[in-house]
Each structure stands twice: as structure tokens, then as C-alpha cells.
């Protein structure tokens, strides 16, 4: 296998290594008799913070229920139970809403694929209470967005996110919009891309042709086939540095279910993300002992996925939350470098070229009528320089 592939897991906090041990024992009987040292000197408050941050409290609670857990304080078990119970109610509610949203869209001739939520929990874990979710992620065709916007507004939803745009660059620079229902509090993420652009990925039509039908609901609810789901999960997890173990737990479950390795490798290669799949598999193998077929191991053998897996330990070990604003400066700098290293060579080229495409800020500096927006292309270097020189004066 060439160079050493091991990850330096000693950088992980003791409490996180205990969580990983518990997760790895979830399908086994017995206690901790031979690993008592893992429970010595544990900061149980930090343990609970990490379980919550990584969104693995259902798995940890269910695993501890089957084990001899006299080493763990009772308040820890009780806290985990309360989180598990609350999540079960949340997932039951989201299951009902999944069916209602699917009915609303399909009856209005809008094709819809559910990306995560209860459908994913049921498919990967066999029980919706075993995975967490706070909203519904939905994938639709870009051509249906205007119709969807009108439909959701009529149904009582409010758009929770707006962004400026020029020359329709939002279609590839952004990838989803947020909606919220003020009465129910339900949040919807409406995706027209699987991830932020620019970059290559399957179009909606391809994914729709390969869709599966969920067994969770009586009304039809559709979601991704296994190989497309693997592509979605690894690109999403990688983009966030695998900062939550839940995403790796999803990969572990999906791999254990079995994948068409030949189809998967073709899909990953076509979309320039073999190295991202390799990163996910290395992390899952080392942290969750995920077994791999020889065809999948081939994705992990080159240096690039090994390097990316090592770099993601920064996020896992430090409990990084990229959804906090503002993101700490040191994390933001690291994440910027990490994201660039994550890009395929083709995506790096597109990313660099995208700087020459007008930004909404250009229109703010020099408002032009819509029929003259093409002038932002030659003017972009001038407007960029103007903004840079104006920053000190504005501050």
C-alpha cells in the first residue's frame, strides 16, 4: 500500500475516542470489561457536548442500553435518553411533513427527491429514531424553482434567505434556498444542485431516472439510489471537513449495505471526486472500523485521499462548527485552504475562472440597467480594484 495510511487518532480528545469505542460496539453484546481504562478521567460534560455536536446521541444511547454501563454516571445516561426521546418525536413529525410535502409537490407536477431527513434514517438505520435531523432537504429541477416558490408561499411558507444576483450567476454559485413555515417552524432547504458550484455533478434528470421509492410513507416519496447517495454524502461531508461523526456513520451504514463498486467508481470518476470518496472511506475505516470490498479500497490508496483524511482531523478533534457566525479567524483560514485542496483540478480551474464572472458587489459599486449588465465583464477588474482601495477609507 505504499506509505503509511494510519491516521494519528491520538490527537482526538479522550472523550471522543470513548464515543468512537461505544459506536463501534453498538452491534456487539457485552460490556467494557477489557477497556476500563477508557473511562478513567473522562470529562463527562465534555463527553455530552461532543455527543451532541457530532449528532450521534441516538447511536450512543442505544449502544449504552445494551452494555454494562456502570462506569458511566447516571446523569449522562438520563441526558442521552432525553435527547433520544426528543429526537424521536422530531423525526416522527418530519416523517409526516415529508409525506405532505411530497404530496404537495407531486400533485402540482413537480418532481422531488428527498436528500436526507427521515427517509435517509429509515433507509440506512432501519429506524427513524436512530438518526437526527432538524429540517428537510429537497432536490428539484432548476426549471421548477419559480413554480415551487409560488407554491410554498401559497402554502404558508416564507423564504428565509435572499441573495443579490447579476447575470444569473446564482444558478451555479449557490445551490439551495431556505424556507420556513412560521406556524409549524418547519424548515425546508430547496436544492437545485447537490453542492455549491462551479463544478461537475449529476443533473436532476439523471438522478430522477435512478431514483428509489421510500417504504417509510404510504404516499410516494422518492430519494436517491445508493451510488448517487454515496456521492451526495461524501461531497457534503468533505465540504464540511467531516466535522460531525454522524456523516461518517451514514457512510459506514451505506457501505455495509453494499454498493455496486463498478457503477460507483464510474460515477465518482465522471464527477471528478474519486479522491473525496477515498477520504471518506479512510476516515470511516479508521474511526468506525467500516469494512470495505477490495474495489472500494482502491479509492483509498493514493496519497491525496490520505492527505485529505489527515487534514479533516483538525475539524473532528476541535469540535469545529462551521455554522456559527462569525467562524473563528483561525478556523476560517484553515477551512479556506482545505476547501481549495479538496477541489478537483478541473474544479480549481473553474473556481479561478469564476473570479472573472461578475459578482453582485460589482452592481452595488456601479449600478447599471439590466441591458448593460454585459459591461460588468470588462469592468470587473476595475470594480474589484475600486472596492479594495475603498475598504480602508470606509473603515
Return the CATH number at 131: 3.30.460.40
Looking at residue 188, its pLDDT comes to 95
Establish if 69 belongs to a structural domain: no
Q: Report the alpha-carbon angle 123-69-23, nearest 5.
A: 30
Examine residue 46 and state whether it is found in any structural domain, yes or no: no
Pairing of strands 113-114, 212-213: unpaired
Is residue 200 domain-shared with residue 115, that is, in the same domain? yes
Residue 81 belongs to a domain? no
Do 307 and 301 contact (CB within 8 A), yes or no?
Answer: no
Does 246 share its domain with 329?
yes
Per-residue pLDDT, 345 = 86
Same domain, 183 and 210: yes
Question: Which residue range forms the structural domain that includes residue 376?
Answer: 360-390
Averages of pLDDT over runs of 10 residues in the chain (395 residues) are 60 93 75 68 96 96 82 93 97 96 96 97 96 95 94 91 69 83 92 87 95 96 98 96 97 96 95 96 96 91 95 93 88 94 88 80 81 78 77 46
Residues 236 and 113 placed together within one structural domain of the fold: no
Whether residue 305 lies inside any domain: the answer is: yes
Q: Residues 309, 235: one domain?
A: yes
Give the span between the Cα atoms of 139 and 238, in whole angstroms: 19
Q: Count the domains in the chain.
A: 3
260 domain-assigned: yes
Of 224, 255, 278, at which residue does a domain stop?
224
Question: 204 with 243, same domain?
Answer: no
Residues 205 and 252 in one domain: no
Domain identity same for 236 and 294: yes
CB 171 within 8 A of CB 142: yes
Instruction: Give yes or no: residues 342 and 262 share one domain.
Output: yes
Residue 116 lies in a domain: yes
The pLDDT, as a whole number, for residue 33 is: 54
**Predicted local distance difference test score (pLDDT) of residue 149:** 93
Are 7 and 313 a contacting pair, CB within 8 Å? Answer: yes
Q: Is the pTM of this model over 0.85?
A: yes
Same domain, 252 and 322: yes
In a domain, 43, yes or no: no
pLDDT for 29 = 57
User: Are 276 and 199 members of one domain?
Assistant: no
Question: CA 153, CA 177: separation in Å to the nearest integer?
Answer: 13
Burial class of residue 250 (count of CB atoms within 10 Å of its CB; 0-12, 13-18, 19+): buried
Amino acid at each position: 500500500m505504499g506509505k503509511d495510511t494510519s491516521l494519528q487518532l491520538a490527537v482526538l480528545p479522550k472523550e471522543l475516542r470513548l464515543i468512537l469505542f461505544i459506536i463501534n460496539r453498538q452491534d456487539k453484546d457485552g460490556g467494557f470489561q477489557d477497556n476500563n481504562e477508557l473511562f478513567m478521567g473522562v470529562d463527562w460534560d465534555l463527553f455530552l457536548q461532543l455527543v451532541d455536536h457530532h449528532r450521534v446521541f441516538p447511536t450512543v444511547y442505544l449502544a449504552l442500553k445494551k452494555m454494562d454501563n456502570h462506569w458511566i454516571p447516571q446523569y449522562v445516561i438520563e441526558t442521552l435518553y432525553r435527547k433520544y426521546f426528543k429526537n424521536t418525536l422530531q423525526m416522527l413529525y418530519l416523517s409526516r411533513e415529508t409525506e405532505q410535502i411530497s404530496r404537495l409537490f407531486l400533485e402540482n407536477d413537480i418532481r422531488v427527491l428527498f436528500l436526507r431527513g427521515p427517509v435517509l434514517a429509515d433507509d440506512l438505520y432501519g429506524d427513524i429514531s436512530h438518526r437526527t435531523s432538524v429540517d428537510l432537504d429537497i432536490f428539484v429541477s432548476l426549471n421548477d424553482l419559480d413554480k415551487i416558490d409560488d407554491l410554498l408561499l401559497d402554502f404558508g411558507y416564507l423564504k428565509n434567505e435572499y441573495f443579490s444576483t447579476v447575470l444569473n450567476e446564482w444558478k451555479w454559485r449557490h445551490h439551495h434556498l431556505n424556507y420556513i413555515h412560521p406556524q409549524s417552524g418547519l424548515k425546508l432547504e430547496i436544492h437545485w444542485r447537490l453542492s455549491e458550484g462551479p463544478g461537475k455533478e449529476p443533473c436532476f434528470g439523471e438522478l430522477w431516472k435512478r431514483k428509489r421509492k421510500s417504504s417509510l410513507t404510504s404516499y410516494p416519496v422518492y430519494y436517491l439510489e445508493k451510488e448517487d447517495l454515496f456521492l451526495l454524502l461524501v461531497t457534503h461531508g468533505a465540504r464540511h471537513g467531516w466535522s460531525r461523526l454522524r456523516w461518517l456513520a451514514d457512510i459506514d451504514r451505506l457501505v455495509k449495505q453494499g454498493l455496486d463498486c463498478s457503477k460507483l467508481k464510474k460515477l465518482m470518476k465522471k464527477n471528478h471526486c474519486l479522491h473525496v470518496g477515498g477520504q471518506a472511506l479512510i476516515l470511516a475505516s479508521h474511526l468506525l472500523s467500516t469494512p470495505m470490498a477490495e474495489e472500494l479500497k482502491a479509492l483509498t490508496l493514493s496519497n491525496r485521499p490520505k492527505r485529505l483524511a489527515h487534514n479533516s482531523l483538525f475539524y473532528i478533534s476541535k469540535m469545529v462548527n462551521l455554522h456559527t457566525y462569525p467562524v473563528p479567524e483561525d478556523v476560517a483560514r484553515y477551512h479556506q485552504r482545505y476547501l481549495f485542496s479538496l477541489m478537483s483540478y478541473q474544479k480549481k480551474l473553474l473556481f479561478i475562472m469564476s473570479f472573472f464572472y461578475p459578482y453582485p458587489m460589482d452592481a452595488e459599486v456601479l449600478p447599471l440597467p439590466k441591458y448593460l449588465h454585459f459591461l460588468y465583464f470588462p469592468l470587473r477588474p476595475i470594480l474589484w480594484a475600486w472596492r479594495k482601495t475603498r475598504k480602508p477609507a470606509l473603515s
